Amino acid sequence: MISKFVQIGNKIEIESIKKTTDELGEITRKTYRSELYDIESEDVIKIAMPMEQSKIVLLPVDAEYSLCFYTSNGLYQCLARVIERYKSNNLFVLSMELETDLQKYQRREYYRLNTVLDMKSKAIDTSNKSFEQVQFIDTDLTFDNGTMVDISGGGARFISKAQYPKGSLIRFVFSLFVNGSVTEYKLVGKVLRSEPIENREDQFENRIQFVNMVNDDRESIIKYIFEEERRQRHRERGTF
């Protein structure tokens, strides 16, 4: 039964089956985020219509998508088709028919939250130590200011005036409001990408992966992400 694997409220990543080509000529697929609203039967589920920049995304009826469910037991994936769109209890809902069985998904990624948060970063000199030995030592206050634009339990993306070599390590400092109080995080990140932003002089988009991270910090960040998602949903529905 589908209810053995997923539960109402589980986060869902919706990926289009149809490929598109971006301005760089790279093939991409459009991805949206939502949550499970109801389980109607073994083959039909209801999900909240995804939002993008505070606007509802009206996925077309009969369109097929790949669904990835974020559950307490890991990720599950299937293909599904939109069969109906409607409004229920002030929530816009998609009714979707599952076209394949749920399969355990081994992708090692975390749910990402779009955000706007102040943060600081600084390159780490690794010339005299191995990758595994690098830890955060808070002795240098000359950090670069930046703005975090998304975060997950595995890493983050941020904008700054500093560009970092791919594969290098940086100290990464930011604060989140979790469990009713502000928590400061001092983490080490590996640079996956650092590229100039088009039409924005001296601004770079950086994506990092957290390394040598303790589980308590990761779990705390994931908790913040889901709490913030819930707050955003309430604000969008006018119930918060």
Whether residue 26 has pLDDT greater than 80? no
Q: Tens digits of per-residue pLDDT, 144-156?
A: 899 999 998 889 9
**Dihedral through CA 68, CA 231, CA 83, CA 98, nearest 10?**
30
Sign of the Cα torsion 170, 205, 233, 37 reads negative
Check whether 133 has a pLDDT greater than 80: no
CB 185 within 8 A of CB 173: yes
pLDDT for 86 beyond 80: yes
pTM of the model: 0.56
Amino acid identity of residue 234, one-letter, is H
Q: What does pLDDT average to over the chain?
A: 82
Per-residue CA distances from 64 to 159, 179, 215 (Å): 34, 38, 36
The answer to whether 36 touches 94, Cβ cutoff 8 Å, is no
Torsion angle (degrees, nearest 10) of CA 215, 221, 224, 226: -80
3-state SS assignment for residue 37: strand
C-beta atoms surrounding 112 within 10 Å: 18
- Find, among 33, 36, 35, the residue nearest to 14 by Cα: 33
pLDDT tens digits, 169-202: 999 899 998 878 899 999 999 999 999 988 887 8
Say how many residues make up the chain.
240
Average pLDDT over residues 203-227: 87
Domains of the chain, CATH where assigned = 2-105 (2.30.110.10), 113-228 (2.40.10.220)
Q: What is the DSSP letter of 50?
A: P
Element (H, E) at 145: strand 144-151
- Which amino acid makes up residue 194? S
Answer yes or no: is pLDDT of 108 > 70: no
Assigned token pair, 84: 């109906």
Higher pLDDT, 27 or 99: 99
Q: What is the pLDDT of residue 141?
A: 56
- The count of C-alpha atoms lying within 13 angstroms of the C-alpha of 142, restricted to the half-sphere facing its C-beta, is 3
Select the more confidently predicted residue: 12 or 238.
Answer: 12
pLDDT at 117 over 80: yes
> 70 is written with which tokens?
């974020």
**Residue 101 bridge partners (DSSP):** none
Collapsed DSSP state (helix, strand, coil) of residue 230: helix
Write down the pLDDT at residue 73. Answer: 82
Q: Summarize the confidence of residues 41-64 as an average pLDDT.
A: 90
At a CB cut-off of 8 Å and minimum separation 6, what does 76 contact? 5, 6, 68, 69, 102, 103, 104, 105
Query: Phi, psi at residue 137, to the nearest 5°?
Result: -120, 110
